[in-house]
Structure 1
Amino acid sequence: MSAPAPHFPAPAVPESTPEPAPDLPGPAPRNGGRWPVLLLPVVALIPAVIAVLQLGRIHPDEVYQALEPAFWRVHGYGVLAWEWKDGIRNWAVPGVLAGFLKLAELLGITRPQGYRAVVAIPQAALHAWSLWAAYRFVARRAGPQGGELAALLVGLYGPVLVFAGRTLGESFSASFLVVAMEALDRRERTARAGLLGGAALGMAVVTRYPSAIFVVAALVWLAAAKRWRVLAFTCLGGAVVAAGLGVLDFATWGTPFHSFLAYARFNVFSGEAAARFGSDPPVYYVRPFFSAVPLWAWGAALLGLASLGQRRAVSLPLWCAAVYTGVLLTTAHKEERFLYPGLVLAVLAAAAPVAVFIRARAQAAARWGLAALAVGTGLGAAAFFPSTDLRADQFRAIVAATEGGDAHGLLIVNEGLWGAGGFFYLGQQMPWLTCDWPHDGAFQHAMRDRTFNRAVTFEDRALPELQAAGFRVARRIGRETLLIRD
């Protein structure tokens, strides 16, 4: 198994010829026509376009662990969360985003939605790479057309459309994990495959430390499969990335691996994360899991049960997803977004048998119908996962409040500090406050201080009090009301 298999061009065969078994990868796939080259980038761009046009946030970390630190790096001001004071995060992702923010500044792009689009470029490219990897992974088992279907099943999977354009650690990490799964699945050029797979696993950890669980699971799988050469080069590729993290932490925090060790102490060994942010039983994940898994993935599970009599190994992405989900169930602090990387790998694993099944249908109408049904059911999962209110209209209202150059101070009503968009979405250095009720100190201060001449209120909370203080309604943006005081 450790020696690379010889590769010969696949001969032309009739469509009815059986495809390789889903867990037995064939030779490296050839391009299935122009579809991957022309349409795959379009599918990959959809999450970025949604995130830029919609704005909002799945979780405060989307702003305060990525966008706001990057803005601070470029402009010298911003809101830094406690993690950036205690050194519990590394500067890899904010550093890259800061570079693209600087590029936007050089290009004269100063509107928040404009430079948010520029910041989306590296993430969109990473997501496109992951969809290309999904295509190759499934094409080995189901042929080029099966790979094309898999790229659609993964790329148009509802949670992917929601998450893949968001600047969350889970989003970056999931893309790197898909790349790693495809690389470690290769049977040719095993040294290169191991180096790439190890580097991608390393980057998945750099962008999100809990993804170290996937690394351990992948190494165990390679050892169990006795793919020793791939395992060795995977460790080498990961070690190179780890060394880079050590250098980065030394340059930014003064000690190699400072952020990783601080993160482990806080979240794993001390129990502080559960004490500060709460803990939940394993049943917490039941509803989000079952609402996020598409029907065609359950169909893949049924196909797997039907083939239990055949000797087939568990695929690498399915194994990693199962191990990761099992660890999540035992972890005290739980959030829906934590499921996302495991869901993506599970969907990747399920796409292979589903593509084989659909391609085996004799009638073209049946193939097209089943493919459309699979894509549609996967797309529908976006309505249920995540269940978080994105507050997209609030972020659009904040951006609108600072247009025109006449805004000097902003009050955001019915929102807390960590739910707001930070200086990144204000786009300029100006005072801003958040509050919940008219009797809050921040609200009273803003009413007295005429510097605050813009206000945004969610669901019209404190609207009469704002109008009594001289504010007038300028625009309504969804559930938000934008007010101006002359």
Structure 2
Amino acid sequence: MSAPLLATPADATPPPEPGLEAPAPTSRNAPARGVSRWVLAAVALLPGLIAVVQLGRIHPDEVYQSLEPAWWRVHGYGVLAWEWREGLRNWAVPGVLAGFLKLADLLGITHPRAYRVVVALPQVALHAWSLWAAHRFAQRRAGDTGGLLATLLVGLYGPVLVFAGRTMAESISASLLIVAMEALDRRERLARAGLVGGVALGLAVVARYPSAIFVLAALVWLAAARRWRLLVFTCVGGLAVAVALGALDWATWGKPFHSFFAYVRFNVFSGKAAARFGADPPSFYVKPLLSAVPLWAWAAVPLGAAALRQRRFPSLPLWCAAVYTGVLLATAHKEERFLYPGLVLAMLAAAPPVAALLARRAQPTGRWGLAGLALAATLASAAYFPSGDLRADQFRAIVAATRGNARGLLIVNEGLWGSGGFFYLGKRIPWLTCDWPHDAAFQRALRDKTFNRAVTFEDRALTELQAGGFQVVRKVGRETILSRE
């Protein structure tokens, strides 16, 4: 007979993983826990602060699948991408953002950067919740000191700093997945844990439909671990979210689950996603994976191998990350950003064993020196993932150019989907994008005196703009702002 997947009964407290003997909590740890809360709160603010100060976009979806639909909901005009015309998206995330955007409008907050701060509030709160969940998950395995270090390894992970404050479906879904992983890892109050985990998994799917892969993987894990009570309440929580999604689609698209089925038809069964956006071999993900995984995470591999030799089931976040990455490798259409939720869960699984080993070192100098190196490697990964140009200076230039008496804007060396939309213009004025002086949009803007502002990337068509009456106002990074009156 083969050995069981778990060495303990389903609802018993599991033994510590190899190298994860966590010290018992004592009353003397209370001040340290207070410090931990403040540290985690500060770390939780970083991604949102970076996103607001830096601006830019990881991908056009950051604007046109969330911010711009929210602007359209509140103001009645905006640029709606083709998904919103054909019903491939649900209105949950844009609806929440629209509520905060409406609040900013009622408070008289009209500057794009200022109302971007207001819109960031729910996402900052969600990210803070996810970091606290990561801390609880790690603390069970690595104790107070190791748990805090593990949470810092996750919270200061470069891709998290870049993504978590962005209004990307991957960003929002990943935060909810961390909450779900922690809830389904609990061994007490199983009904409550299952409901929280099920709701978080369901909301992760609402934010991003491909996250259904994580849901299926989690349910398989719970069944294989024979955690039946937790599985039942997880399904109940997920079903409640599914009912709410069906009602939302019925109210907005006229049919329950219209957006989900339309998304699945387009991206899974029709082959149109690969035909329209391209197909790549599995090797497409090799470079992003290698550049995004910090060196310390590889140290967790031997510990994971030791657990497998003991016939123990892999941790839930590691299992979900592995299943999800396998599906991505087999999917024809590939994008670097798709890796993000799986990477975050892999870091959540890898950080506790590494942090526990560092925390148990006898010499404080070696302990904190290695911890500092691990955190430096964690931060450094932000330089490589994502690998694309965020065009942050362009967004800052657009915001600056449209203040005051701007009546029309021309953006040179950028297409429609790379621009900031009406959300970052902050007002209802005509605007055009083009690449070259001979483009029709460029010629139209030069003839029409309504267009009295221009932003050009790396000074393309600068001579032609000046010949058309524009004068340089100032530089913003690689962007030049021009004006004509």
Structure 1 length as normaliser, TM-score? Answer: 0.95
In 2, Cα distance between equivalents of 1:373 and 1:125: 29
Quote the residue 2:114 is aligned against: 114
Kept in 2: contact 1:130–1:176 (CA 8 A): yes
Quote the residue 1:444 is aligned against: 443
Quote the residue 1:393 is aligned against: 393
In 2, Cα distance between equivalents of 1:410 and 1:257: 39
The secondary structure found in structure 1 opposite 2:432 is: strand
1:339 aligns with 2:349: no
219 and 75 in structure 1: CA distance in 2 versus 1, 3 angstrom threshold: same
269 and 23 in structure 1: CA distance in 2 versus 1, 3 angstrom threshold: farther
Equivalences for residues 286-305 of structure 1 within 5 A: 286-305=286-305
Cα drift, residue 37 of structure 1: 2.0
Cα drift, residue 19 of structure 1: 6.3
1:198 aligns with 2:198: yes
In 2, Cα distance between equivalents of 1:99 and 1:25: 43
Question: 1:264-297 CA deviation, whole Å, 9 max, x = no partner?
Answer: 0000010001110011000000000000001110
Question: 1:193-229 CA deviation, whole Å, 9 max, x = no partner?
Answer: 1110010000000000000000000000000000011
Quote the residue 1:181 is aligned against: 181
In 2, Cα distance between equivalents of 1:233 and 1:308: 28
Question: 1:38-74 CA deviation, whole Å, 9 max, x = no partner?
Answer: 1211100000000000000000000000000000111
Cα drift, residue 341 of structure 1: 0.1
Equivalences for residues 93-132 of structure 1 within 5 A: 93-132=93-132
Kept in 1: contact 2:109–2:115 (CA 8 A): yes
Equivalences for residues 155-174 of structure 1 within 5 A: 155-174=155-174
Letter of the structure 2 residue corresponding to residue 270 of structure 1: S
Letter of the structure 2 residue corresponding to residue 481 of structure 1: T
Cα drift, residue 36 of structure 1: 2.8
Kept in 2: contact 1:414–1:436 (CA 8 A): yes
Quote the residue 2:37 is aligned against: 37
The secondary structure found in structure 2 opposite 1:457 is: strand
In 1, Cα distance between equivalents of 2:122 and 2:255: 28
Quote the residue 1:84 is aligned against: 84
Cα drift, residue 238 of structure 1: 0.2
Letter of the structure 2 residue corresponding to residue 408 of structure 1: R
Quote the residue 1:479 is aligned against: 478
Quote the residue 1:455 is aligned against: 454
Cα drift, residue 304 of structure 1: 2.7
CA RMSD of aligned residues (A): 1.9
Kept in 1: contact 2:18–2:306 (CA 8 A): no
Cα drift, residue 3 of structure 1: 7.2
1:412 aligns with 2:411: yes
Kept in 2: contact 1:174–1:344 (CA 8 A): yes
Quote the residue 2:4 is aligned against: none
Give identity over the alignment, percent.
73
Letter of the structure 1 residue corresponding to residue 413 of structure 2: N
1:281 aligns with 2:271: no
Quote the residue 2:380 is aligned against: 380
In 1, Cα distance between equivalents of 2:271 and 2:22: 42
Kept in 1: contact 2:21–2:142 (CA 8 A): no
Question: 1:326-372 CA deviation, whole Å, 9 max, x = no partner?
Answer: 00000000000000000000000001110111112111112111111
Letter of the structure 2 residue corresponding to residue 470 of structure 1: G
In 2, Cα distance between equivalents of 1:288 and 1:452: 41
Letter of the structure 1 residue corresponding to residue 233 of structure 2: F
The secondary structure found in structure 1 opposite 2:299 is: helix
In 1, Cα distance between equivalents of 2:84 and 2:58: 20
Kept in 2: contact 1:40–1:131 (CA 8 A): yes
Quote the residue 2:467 is aligned against: 468
Kept in 1: contact 2:19–2:357 (CA 8 A): no
Kept in 2: contact 1:19–1:356 (CA 8 A): no
Cα drift, residue 303 of structure 1: 3.0
In 2, Cα distance between equivalents of 1:352 and 1:121: 29
Kept in 2: contact 1:184–1:194 (CA 8 A): yes
In 2, Cα distance between equivalents of 1:271 and 1:106: 44
The secondary structure found in structure 1 opposite 2:33 is: coil
| Count of aligned residue pairs for this structure pair | 475
* Structure 1 gap segments, 5+ residues each: 8-17
Question: 1:448-483 CA deviation, whole Å, 9 max, x = no partner?
Answer: 000000000000000000000000000100000000
89 and 309 in structure 1: CA distance in 2 versus 1, 3 angstrom threshold: closer
In 2, Cα distance between equivalents of 1:197 and 1:326: 23
* Structure 2 gap segments, 5+ residues each: 1-7
Kept in 1: contact 2:11–2:227 (CA 8 A): no
